[in-house]
């Protein structure tokens, strides 16, 4: 393997040229997104079918090629295939479309209209991905390379200029200059804290002790967020390069990448990336002949949300229980094995090579006064274009949800945006013009967090949302400190009571008291921020709490205990749809006999409500009032004779 | 050597008997056996020379480890926020009623284990149900009936 090792930065440049010279740039390459979402829709089989089909049509080894890539971000429209060099984007590709794509588009260069994205507003089809509004309104500096790269092939990354920032650092910059550049860029931690990265690095540099560690935190635990997953799976070398540059600046020779257990593909691709980088001499000993060494190990998490907290994560790396420690001394000074340890999030590390390559000044030209650069968000929930989006800091919530996200499905009304995961809060509709950055969202009582953005419409109950986050934290609390452990339990009890119709006067005050106590007295950020979803929902949606407590009414008709299902006998046409599909056989009736729901058996799963054809709309949801009695069993449907 | 001690020896050796790798070793064994029996834990403790209390503490703390045997088919319902907003609690109720097991439990015939997970990171397709590693996006009640019928 040693002959592959690059012994100087020049050799890297030569290798890049060599790879490029071997590649035919006029070649028609179809890239298939094999991110988790597209994979679910069968994209791996589609990729295999492309390979087979290219062979079958006698095109193997010619100017046509198929390539798997990481996540492109537009998960709603998956599986996605992009054809280069034209950058034609086909959405919702099916297995049976493959032969036609090969023969028509790859060979003859024709567009297949049916497979193009159709703009729901104008009704026109869009050929190139960059012209689709979802992509057009983004600024994809960190995430954008995913679509060009086969994550299992380091050459793809090198061709795009990969590892040139590392080469620059090792040959032209001192560690002090690297630190200075990162400080000047004003890069802030993307994992949620927003702490200035340069200052964190400086603390580790100044900490006493020769042996220092660097860590990539890919324990992305916030429910509703998967940015780090897509980066780690789709472009692992960009994270690795950032880590290398940081290690050089901090004089560290040992690094860890901690990946949560739920992300097996990220683990696989990262391990492969490390192996390939070592083969090229970009990792390991005497990197690019500079004398600088870095060894990197991958650790899998074992399923504990709180392990994403820095001190807990370091415990987990030491093979211990992932509980947080008291931060009398910062981990930057005393972390793993009580040695200085610098931990950054996946996205933070991935920004570093860009800053070195293009300069701090360029980075400062993007974003707002206090938050520079871009941020990747996972735009999910009740929004048309769900997926991963990267936008400059300072874009407003409205632009993000409507221009990029395409608005709310089924013509429903937006109620709130939940940001920052279990540590964040909800932001109501009236604040949609707020620019998104670290400081603005905090002012509203929420936070930007790691980048989860869950859109909620009128069918989402805010009390239930608060209860959801509290029970999430309740289960994930490690139980070490009392304010978090007991505070969360009490909050869960009160909120469950409210959702189930046992709410009483004074509950809201009690919640606020407990929340204050937790904020002040918890050991780590899990406990001190856990009450944010409750506090913001009370702040902006107090009337919903009051409706639950005073009238036993859930305005969104989402709380099961307060909602009943009822079939309107006037509207039921006895079509049997709901009756056949009720999972508990709670619906009675027969053909031509009006259906009715046996309330005792009903588990309120919403199946009947969804299946009842819109033109009948016979199934009703009722909250805050008694359910009318059902018709006498056996009542026949009276059919109106139309037009005769 | 029993089957268990051989597997443990292989896992422990794979990480050069490094005590810091306890979690990684248990993850490997969990994926081999589907659960961690008392015998497995004791064997790890002896071979890695880590107190059994520490092995048990780690094994009982993390969600990835199961200290009881699991069913032949694992059904996971994602309860992440995005799935929650799109109706995963109702989906869980439906599945729980269909399989007649409570979340976290295994059916008496060892056919199914029903689990909830916090976020699988494929939020765009929510609500998501994973049956034996096959992801299902927004399955309807009729689809679910079909899926559970086909897996024996």
Residues A194 and A282 in one domain: yes
**Does A233 touch chain B if contact means CB atoms closer than 8 Å?**
no
Of A40, A316, A607, the CB nearest to B122: A40
Residues A511 and A595 in one domain: no
A121 has a pLDDT exceeding 90: no
Q: Which of A457, A472, A494 is the last residue before a domain boundary?
A: A457
Name the H helices within A500-612: 507-521, 525-529, 532-551, 577-581, 607-611
Of B81, B93, B125, the CB nearest to A223: B81
Question: What residue in B sits closest to A318 (Cα-Cα)?
Answer: B20
With b for 16 or more beta-carbon neighbours within 10 A and e for fewer, the A324-357 pattern comes to bbeeeebbbbbbbeebbbbbbbbbbbbbbbbbbe
Name which of A80, A304, A454 to mutate to probe chain B: the one with the most chain B Cβ atoms within 10 A of its Cβ. A454
Of A220, A226, A382, the CB nearest to B122: A226
**Residues A325 and A311: beta-carbon distance below 8 Å:** yes
Question: Treating both helix axes as pointing N-terminal to C-terminal, what angle do B38-48 and B22-33 enclose, rounded to 10 degrees?
Answer: 150
Name which of B16, B98, B120, B121 to mutate to probe chain A: the one with the most chain A Cβ atoms within 10 A of its Cβ. B121
**Residues A342 and A213: beta-carbon distance below 8 Å:** yes
Domains for chain B: give ranges and CATH numbers. 3-61 (no CATH), 73-150 (3.40.30.10)
The alpha carbon of residue A353 is apart from the nearest alpha carbon of chain B, in Å, by 26
Q: Which of A422, A457, A492 is the last residue before a domain boundary?
A: A457
**What mean pLDDT is predicted for residues A614-637?**
91
With b for 16 or more beta-carbon neighbours within 10 A and e for fewer, the A277-302 pattern comes to bbbbbbbbeebbbbebebebbbbbbb
CATH number of the domain enclosing A506: 1.20.1440.230
**Residues A365 and A160: beta-carbon distance below 8 Å:** no
- Residue B121 and residue A229: Cβ atoms within 8 Å? yes
pLDDT-derived band at A458 (thresholds 50, 70, 90) equals very high
- Those residues whose C-beta lies under 8 Å from the C-beta of residue B130, and which sit 6 or more positions away, are B74, B75, B76, B78, B117, B120, B136
Residues A171 and A297 in one domain: yes
Name which of A91, A224, A452, A609 to mutate to probe chain B: the one with the most chain B Cβ atoms within 10 A of its Cβ. A224
Residues A272 and A338 in one domain: yes
Range with the poorest average pLDDT among A119-123, A235-239, B128-132:
A119-123
Name which of A381, A382, A421, A464 to mutate to probe chain B: the one with the most chain B Cβ atoms within 10 A of its Cβ. A381
**What mean pLDDT is predicted for residues A368-393?**
94
Question: What separation in angstroms does the CA of A153 have from each of A24, A101, A276, A322, A533?
Answer: 17, 25, 8, 33, 42
According to the model, what pLDDT value does residue A640 have? 65
Of A223, A319, A468, the CB nearest to B23: A319
The alpha carbon of residue B82 is apart from the nearest alpha carbon of chain A, in Å, by 5
Question: A-B interface: how many C-beta pairs under 8 angstroms?
Answer: 158
Question: What residue in A sits closest to B131 (Cα-Cα)?
Answer: A40
B86 by Cβ neighbours in 10 Å (0-12 / 13-18 / 19+) ranks as buried
Residues A476 and A451 in one domain: no
- Those residues whose C-beta lies under 8 Å from the C-beta of residue B10, and which sit 6 or more positions away, are none
- Those residues whose C-beta lies under 8 Å from the C-beta of residue B151, and which sit 6 or more positions away, are B73, B131, B132
Name which of B50, B67, B85 to mutate to probe chain A: the one with the most chain A Cβ atoms within 10 A of its Cβ. B85
Is residue A187 a part of any domain in this protein?
yes
pLDDT-derived band at A1 (thresholds 50, 70, 90) equals very low
CATH number of the domain enclosing A340: 3.40.50.11540
Structure tokens at A5: 């090792």
Structure tokens at B30: 């969990």
Question: What residue in A sits closest to B80 (Cα-Cα)?
Answer: A223
Contacts of B63 in chain A (CB under 8 A): 302-304
DSSP three-state, residue A407: coil
According to the model, what pLDDT value does residue A306 have? 87
Tens of pLDDT, residues A405-448: 999 998 899 999 999 989 899 999 999 999 999 999 999 989 99
A2 by Cβ neighbours in 10 Å (0-12 / 13-18 / 19+) ranks as exposed
Q: What is the DSSP letter of A439?
A: H
Percent of chain A at pLDDT > 70 equals 99
**Does A303 touch chain B if contact means CB atoms closer than 8 Å?**
yes
Tens of pLDDT, residues A554-568: 999 999 999 999 999
- Residue A75 and residue B125: Cβ atoms within 8 Å? yes
Question: Treating both helix axes as pointing N-terminal to C-terminal, what angle do A346-358 and A227-234 enclose, rounded to 10 degrees?
Answer: 60
The alpha carbon of residue B1 is apart from the nearest alpha carbon of chain A, in Å, by 27
The alpha carbon of residue A560 is apart from the nearest alpha carbon of chain B, in Å, by 9
Chain centroid, CA A357 distance in Å: 27
Give the whole-angstrom CA distance, residue A94 versus residue A109.
19
- Residue A583 and residue B98: Cβ atoms within 8 Å? yes
If phi over 0 gives left and psi between -120 and 50 gives alpha, with beta otherwise, what is residue B80?
A: beta
Is residue A499 a part of any domain in this protein?
yes
A210 has a pLDDT exceeding 50: yes
Q: Which of A402, A437, A457 is the last residue before a domain boundary?
A: A457
B82 has a pLDDT exceeding 90: no
Q: What is the DSSP letter of A196?
A: B
Residues 72-101 of A with CB under 8 A from B: 75-76, 78
DSSP three-state, residue A408: coil
Residues A111 and A207 in one domain: no
Is residue A341 a part of any domain in this protein?
yes
Residue with structure tokens 């992509």? A135
Helix (H) or strand (E) holding A596: strand A593-597
CATH number of the domain enclosing A75: 3.40.30.10
The alpha carbon of residue B13 is apart from the nearest alpha carbon of chain A, in Å, by 16
pLDDT-derived band at A644 (thresholds 50, 70, 90) equals very low
A119 has a pLDDT exceeding 90: no
The alpha carbon of residue A60 is apart from the nearest alpha carbon of chain B, in Å, by 31
- Those residues whose C-beta lies under 8 Å from the C-beta of residue A515, and which sit 6 or more positions away, are A487, A491, A531, A534, A535
A143 has a pLDDT exceeding 60: yes
Residues in chain A: 644
Residues 512-541 of A with CB under 8 A from B: none
Selection from A363, A359, A405 nearest residue A74 by Cα? A405
- Residue A381 and residue B137: Cβ atoms within 8 Å? no
Of A78, A418, A607, the CB nearest to B81: A418
- Those residues whose C-beta lies under 8 Å from the C-beta of residue A614, and which sit 6 or more positions away, are none
- Domain residues for the domain of A397 are 374-457
If phi over 0 gives left and psi between -120 and 50 gives alpha, with beta otherwise, what is residue A579?
A: alpha
Residues A380 and A453 in one domain: yes
**What mean pLDDT is predicted for residues A172-180?**
97
- Residue A380 and residue B97: Cβ atoms within 8 Å? no
**Residues A185 and A363: beta-carbon distance below 8 Å:** yes
With b for 16 or more beta-carbon neighbours within 10 A and e for fewer, the B121-150 pattern comes to bbbbbbbbbbbeeebbbebebeebeebbee
Contacts of B132 in chain A (CB under 8 A): none
Number of independent structural domains in chain A: 5
In chain B, count H helices and then E strands.
7, 4
Q: Mean pLDDT across chain A, nearest whole number?
A: 93
A46 by Cβ neighbours in 10 Å (0-12 / 13-18 / 19+) ranks as buried
**What mean pLDDT is predicted for residues A132-139?**
94
Indicate the pTM of the whole model.
0.91
Is residue A177 a part of any domain in this protein?
yes
**Does A337 touch chain B if contact means CB atoms closer than 8 Å?**
no
- What is the C-alpha R_g of chain A? 28
- What is the C-alpha R_g of chain B? 18
- Residue B123 and residue A316: Cβ atoms within 8 Å? no
Give the whole-angstrom CA distance, residue A163 versus residue A177.
18
CATH number of the domain enclosing A578: 3.30.70.20
Give the whole-angstrom CA distance, residue A593 versus residue A265.
52
Contacts of A611 in chain B (CB under 8 A): 141
The alpha carbon of residue B2 is apart from the nearest alpha carbon of chain A, in Å, by 26
Structure tokens at A490: 């009490």
B21 has a pLDDT exceeding 90: yes
According to the model, what pLDDT value does residue A70 have? 93
pLDDT-derived band at A2 (thresholds 50, 70, 90) equals low
In chain A, count H helices and then E strands.
25, 19
- Residue B97 and residue A304: Cβ atoms within 8 Å? no
Residues A228 and A159 in one domain: yes
According to the model, what pLDDT value does residue A223 have? 85
Q: Label the pairing between strands A414-419 and A295-300.
A: unpaired
Contacts of B19 in chain A (CB under 8 A): 319
DSSP three-state, residue A383: coil
Is residue A429 a part of any domain in this protein?
yes
Residues A229 and A348 in one domain: yes
Residues A310 and A348 in one domain: yes
Give the angle subtended at the CA of A239 by the CAs of A233 and A245, to the nearest 5°: 165
The alpha carbon of residue B55 is apart from the nearest alpha carbon of chain A, in Å, by 9
**What mean pLDDT is predicted for residues A250-268?**
94
Is residue A236 a part of any domain in this protein?
yes
Contacts of A584 in chain B (CB under 8 A): 97
According to the model, what pLDDT value does residue A618 have? 95
CA quadruple A342, A343, A348, A353: dihedral sign: positive
Residues A539 and A580 in one domain: no
Residues A243 and A292 in one domain: yes
- Residue B64 and residue A476: Cβ atoms within 8 Å? no
Of B61, B91, B122, the CB nearest to A37: B122
Is residue A9 a part of any domain in this protein?
no
Give the whole-angstrom CA distance, residue A19 versus residue B18.
39
Residues 411-430 of A with CB under 8 A from B: 418, 421
Other C-beta atoms lying within 10 Å of the C-beta of residue A42:
15
A122 has a pLDDT exceeding 50: yes
């Amino acid at each position: 393997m040693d002959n592959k090792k690059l012994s100087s930065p020049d050799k890297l440049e030569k290798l890049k040229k060599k790879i490029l010279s071997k590649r035919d740039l006029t070649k028609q390459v179809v890239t298939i997104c094999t991110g988790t979402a597209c994979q679910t829709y069968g994209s791996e089989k589609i990729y295999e079918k492309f390979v087979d089909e290219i062979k079958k049509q006698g095109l193997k080894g010619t100017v046509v090629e198929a390539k798997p890539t990481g996540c492109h971000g537009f998960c709603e429209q998956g599986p996605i295939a992009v054809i280069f060099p034209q950058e034609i984007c086909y959405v919702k590709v099916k297995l049976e479309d493959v032969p036609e794509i090969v023969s028509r588009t790859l060979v003859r260069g024709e567009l297949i209209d049916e497979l193009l994205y159709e703009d729901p507003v104008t009704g026109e089809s869009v050929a190139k991905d960059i012209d689709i509004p979802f992509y057009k309104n983004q600024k994809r500096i960190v995430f954008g390379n995913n679509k060009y790269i086969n994550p299992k092939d380091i050459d793809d990354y090198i061709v795009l200029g990969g590892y040139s920032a590392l080469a620059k650092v090792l040959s032209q910059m001192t560690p002090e200059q690297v630190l200075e550049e990162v400080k000047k860029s004003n890069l802030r931690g993307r994992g949620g804290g927003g702490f200035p990265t340069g200052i964190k690095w400086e603390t580790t540099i100044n900490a006493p002790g020769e042996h220092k560690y660097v860590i990539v935190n890919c324990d992305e635990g916030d429910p509703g967020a998967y940015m780090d997953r897509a980066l780690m799976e789709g472009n692992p070398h960009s994270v690795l390069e950032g880590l290398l540059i940081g290690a050089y600046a901090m004089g560290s020779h040992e690094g860890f990448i901690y990946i949560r257990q739920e992300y097996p593909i990220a683990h696989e691709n990262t391990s492969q990336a490390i192996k390939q980088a070592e083969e090229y001499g970009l990792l390991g000993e005497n990197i690019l002949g500079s004398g600088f060494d870095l060894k990197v190990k991958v650790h899998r998490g074992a399923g504990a949300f709180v392990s994403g907290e820095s001190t807990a994560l370091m415990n987990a790396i030491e093979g211990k229980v992932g509980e947080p420690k008291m931060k009398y001394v910062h981990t930057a000074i005393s972390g793993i094995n009580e040695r200085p340890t610098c931990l950054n999030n996946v996205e933070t590390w991935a920004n570093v090579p860009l800053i070195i390559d293009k300069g701090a000044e360029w980075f400062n030209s993007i974003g707002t006064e206090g938050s520079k650069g871009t941020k990747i968000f996972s735009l999910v929930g009740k929004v048309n274009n769900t997926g991963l989006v990267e936008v400059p800091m300072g874009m407003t919530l409205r632009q993000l949800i409507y221009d990029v996200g395409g608005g709310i499905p089924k013509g429903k009304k937006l109620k709130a945006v939940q940001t920052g995961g279990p540590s964040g809060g909800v932001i109501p509709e009236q604040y949609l013009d707020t620019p998104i950055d670290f400081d603005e969202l905090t002012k509203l009582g929420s936070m930007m967090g790691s980048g989860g953005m869950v859109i909620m419409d009128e069918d989402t109950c805010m009390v239930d949302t608060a209860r959801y986050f509290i029970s999430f934290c309740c289960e994930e609390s490690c139980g070490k400190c009392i304010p978090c452990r007991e505070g969360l339990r009490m909050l869960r009890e009160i909120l469950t009571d409210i959702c189930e119709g046992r709410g009483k006067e004074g509950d809201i005050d009690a919640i606020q008291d407990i929340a204050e106590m937790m904020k002040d007295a918890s050991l780590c950020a899990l406990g001190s921020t856990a009450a944010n979803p409750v506090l913001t929902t009370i702040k902006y949606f107090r009337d919903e709490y009051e409706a639950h407590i005073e009238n036993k009414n859930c305005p969104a008709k989402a709380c099961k205990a307060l909602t009943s299902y009822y079939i309107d006998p006037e509207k039921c046409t006895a079509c049997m749809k709901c009756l056949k599909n009720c999972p508990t056989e709670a619906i009675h009736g027969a053909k031509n006999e009006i259906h009715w729901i046996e309330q005792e058996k009903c588990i309120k799963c919403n199946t009947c409500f969804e299946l009842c054809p819109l033109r009948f709309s016979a199934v009703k949801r009722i909250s805050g009032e008694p359910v009318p009695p059902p018709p006498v069993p056996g009542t026949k449907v009276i059919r109106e004779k139309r037009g005769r | 050597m029993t089957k268990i001690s051989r597997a443990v020896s292989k896992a422990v050796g794979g990480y050069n008997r490094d005590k810091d790798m306890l979690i990684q070793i248990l993850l490997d064994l969990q994926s081999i056996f589907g659960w961690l029996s008392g015998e497995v834990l004791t064997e790890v403790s002896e071979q890695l020379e880590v107190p059994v209390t520490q092995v048990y503490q780690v094994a009982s703390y993390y969600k990835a480890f199961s200290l009881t045997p699991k069913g032949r088919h694992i059904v996971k319902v994602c309860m992440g926020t995005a799935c929650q907003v799109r109706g995963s609690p109702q989906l869980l109720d439906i599945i729980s009623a269909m399989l007649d097991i409570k979340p976290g439990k295994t059916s008496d015939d060892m056919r199914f284990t029903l689990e909830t997970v916090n976020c699988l990171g494929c939020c765009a397709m929510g609500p998501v149900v994973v049956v034996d590693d096959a992801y299902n996006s927004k399955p309807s009640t009729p689809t679910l009936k079909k899926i559970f019928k086909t897996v024996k």
